[in-house]
């Protein structure tokens, strides 16, 4: 060990070195001598970084540096790249080999001195192939080698000095190769073309490179193993073939992994693997119920359970509950609402920017108000609210649940909100004796561009009704006063402003009821 271990005269051919010793040897070796050492055996690269060198026969010997590296449990076992120089063709050739292939007598016989071998850690391959994100899409769908190189560089992996003299970066700048570094071309297209897709009930779905044949057990292990809800009796191998210049589906082989030796079935050629998951009719997700119910908390629901079913499990509403103000929110709706608000604000601002400077009376005030509404909508918190009637279920339109749903049943509120073209958006105390005008006056009154004829009341359940002196305004409502847009001649502007204020009012309604 560093020539001082002293294992005795009966031990031969053991090459063990500390990292520091190996680095010192390389540092003190001239370029000519280094090439001589390299040409005498095989160079081993780990994740594209030179790891060690040695005689080809050392690959089979676990006590050698080469053998130890290939025995590392972090090494991906079913794919490596062997490269050798073809004297006749004058080019470097390459082939994909598994670690078992490398340890075979056939490889020892055919391997050439001066050749090079690249092995990978499983984590490295998952990173460059975008595997294990849970999205079910690896980078093999449409990505090219140049894009992968840019991704490697962005993630901090050294790709300078690749075999080609340069490649183009994200800004089309040419990144030069280093003359003194000994690294390999990432060969990413070669890795992608050797990859097979594994989907379904495995820990890390995605693309996995495979050299030649591999067993089902090896491929599933590469994908992190099966999840607890995997249906072992219905694993699918989707066979593919080339037809008329296209890769098309050939057939689907269904395999029962519970049968003896089924996991040892060898796969080759073109295919993908899907591991179905059991359909869970007992636990599809969790809904959180807060506020005025008898037993608030988190509830596990089955696939067929509805909102009103889960309310029964929660003991129903309390005597002080205000069902008209129930706020039912959903994650998917929140994302959709946020995108819709941003698009609507952009649409409104673009419409305003198309206007020429108008000298007509009131136009400037209208433009300023409309732009203010657009900015308010963009910054508005979104709740992802779905209007529901928690008091009376509708048998013709049941509300099925999604994981992450949340229901809040408030107490009867004591306020009414007023927004839009008033002196100041405000929250006014509720009174059964107050009329529409009373609430507007409480907010300072309408401003000079208010369009009182188009005012409306957004009810606590999300529905709306026209606002006038005779309008019924229950507690928790939002009164919306839109601005006049008659002086703005942009097509459809009135409709856009109405939708903007409607979205703002909906968020105000939900947030006020929750709080």
Instruction: Quick: pLDDT tens for 217-265.
Output: 999 999 999 999 899 999 999 998 888 888 788 889 999 999 989 999 9
Q: How many whole angstroms separate alpha carbon 15 and alpha carbon 44?
A: 15
- Of 134-143, 181-190, 315-324, 340-349, minimum mean pLDDT range: 134-143
- Of 289-303, 332-346, 409-423, minimum mean pLDDT range: 332-346
Q: How many CB atoms lie within 10 A of CB 37?
A: 14
Q: Quick one: pLDDT at residue 154?
A: 40
Alpha-carbon torsion, ordered 409, 410, 411, 413, to 10 deg: -140
Of the pLDDT bands very low, low, confident and very high (cuts 50, 70, 90), residue 14 is low
**Higher confidence at residue 33 or residue 212?**
212
Distance in Å from the first CA to the final CA of the chain: 71
Q: Quick one: pLDDT at residue 122?
A: 93
Q: Quick one: pLDDT at residue 8?
A: 45
Cα 263 from chain centre: 31
pTM for the full predicted model: 0.53
Q: How many whole angstroms separate alpha carbon 264 and alpha carbon 266?
A: 6
**Higher confidence at residue 118 or residue 362?**
118
Q: Which residues contact 196 (CB under 8 A, 6 or more apart)?
A: 207, 208, 209, 210, 219, 267, 270, 271, 272, 273
Rounded to an integer, the average pLDDT of 32-57 is: 77
Please state, rounded to an integer, the average pLDDT across all residues of the chain.
79
Per-residue model confidence as pLDDT tens digits over 261-318: 999 999 999 899 999 998 877 778 999 999 999 999 999 999 889 999 999 999 999 9
Q: Quick one: pLDDT at residue 314?
A: 95
Q: Quick one: pLDDT at residue 133?
A: 43
Closest among 193, 202, 237 to 223, alpha carbons compared: 202
DSSP state of 388: -
Q: Quick one: pLDDT at residue 54?
A: 87
Q: Quick one: pLDDT at residue 38?
A: 55
Q: Quick one: pLDDT at residue 172?
A: 37
Q: 113 pLDDT exceeds 60?
A: yes
**Higher confidence at residue 345 or residue 446?**
446
* H or E stretch at 146: helix 145-154
Q: 131 pLDDT exceeds 90?
A: no
Of the pLDDT bands very low, low, confident and very high (cuts 50, 70, 90), residue 446 is very high
Q: Quick one: pLDDT at residue 367?
A: 75
Q: 70 pLDDT exceeds 70?
A: yes
**Higher confidence at residue 180 or residue 453?**
453
Rounded to an integer, the average pLDDT of 90-95 is: 90
**Higher confidence at residue 135 or residue 188?**
188
* H or E stretch at 267: strand 266-267
Rounded to an integer, the average pLDDT of 374-402 is: 85
Q: Quick one: pLDDT at residue 247?
A: 79
Place of tokens 């066979």: 239
Q: 463 pLDDT exceeds 60?
A: yes
Q: How would DSSP label each residue in 85-134?
A: EETTTTEEEEEEE-HHHHTSHHHHHHPPTTEEEEE-BHHHHHHHTTTTSS
């Amino acid at each position: 060990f560093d020539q001082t271990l002293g294992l005795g005269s009966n031990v031969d051919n053991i090459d063990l070195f500390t990292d520091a010793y190996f680095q010192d040897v390389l540092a003190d070796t001239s370029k000519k001598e280094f090439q001589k050492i390299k040409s005498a055996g095989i160079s081993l690269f780990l994740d594209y970084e030179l790891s060690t060198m040695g005689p080809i026969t050392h690959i089979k010997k676990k006590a050698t540096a080469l053998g130890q590296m290939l025995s590392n449990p972090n090494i991906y076992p079913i794919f490596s790249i062997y490269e050798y120089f073809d004297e006749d063709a004058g080019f470097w050739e390459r082939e994909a080999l598994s670690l078992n292939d490398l340890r075979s007598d056939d490889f020892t016989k055919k391997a050439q001195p001066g050749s090079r071998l690249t092995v990978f850690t499983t984590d490295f391959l998952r990173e460059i192939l975008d595997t294990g994100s849970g999205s079910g899409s690896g980078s093999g769908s449409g990505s090219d080698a140049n894009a992968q190189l840019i991704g490697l560089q962005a993630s901090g992996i050294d790709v300078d000095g690749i075999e080609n003299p340069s490649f183009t970066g994200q800004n089309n700048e040419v990144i030069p190769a280093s003359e003194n570094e000994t690294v390999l071309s990432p060969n990413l297209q070669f890795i992608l073309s050797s990859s097979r897709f594994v989907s379904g009930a495995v820990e890390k779905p995605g693309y996995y490179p495979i050299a030649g044949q591999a067993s089902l057990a090896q491929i599933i292990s590469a994908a992190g193993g099966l999840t607890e809800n995997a249906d072992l009796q219905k694993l699918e191998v989707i066979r593919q073939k080339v037809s008329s210049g296209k890769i098309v589906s050939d057939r689907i082989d269904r395999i029962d992994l519970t049968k003896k030796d089924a996991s040892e079935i060898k796969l080759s050629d073109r295919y993908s693997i899907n591991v179905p998951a059991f359909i869970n009719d007992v636990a599809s997700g969790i809904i959180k119920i807060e506020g005025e119910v008898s037993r608030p908390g988190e509830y596990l629901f089955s696939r067929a359970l509805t909102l009103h079913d889960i309310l029964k499990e929660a003991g129903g509403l309390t005597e002080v509950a205000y069902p008209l103000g129930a706020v039912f929110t959903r994650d998917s709706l929140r994302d959709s609402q946020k995108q819709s608000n941003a698009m609507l604000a952009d649409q409104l601002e673009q419409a305003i920017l198309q206007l020429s400077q108008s000298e007509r009376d009131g136009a400037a005030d209208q433009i300023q108000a409309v732009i203010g509404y657009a900015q308010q909508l963009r910054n508005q918190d979104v709740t992802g609210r779905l209007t529901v009637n928690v008091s009376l279920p509708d048998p013709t339109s049941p509300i099925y649940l999604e994981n992450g749903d949340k229901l809040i049943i408030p107490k009867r509120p004591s306020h009414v909100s007023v927004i839009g073209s008033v002196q100041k958006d405000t929250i006014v105390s509720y009174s059964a004796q107050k009329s529409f005008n009373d609430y507007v006056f409480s907010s300072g009154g309408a401003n000079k561009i208010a369009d009182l004829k188009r005012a409306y009341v957004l009810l606590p359940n999300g529905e709306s009704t026209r606002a006038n002196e005779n309008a019924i305004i229950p507690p928790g409502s939002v009164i919306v006063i839109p601005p006049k847009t008659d002086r703005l001649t942009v097509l459809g502007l009135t409709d856009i402003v109405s939708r903007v204020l409607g979205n703002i009012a909906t968020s105000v309604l939900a947030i006020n009821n929750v709080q």
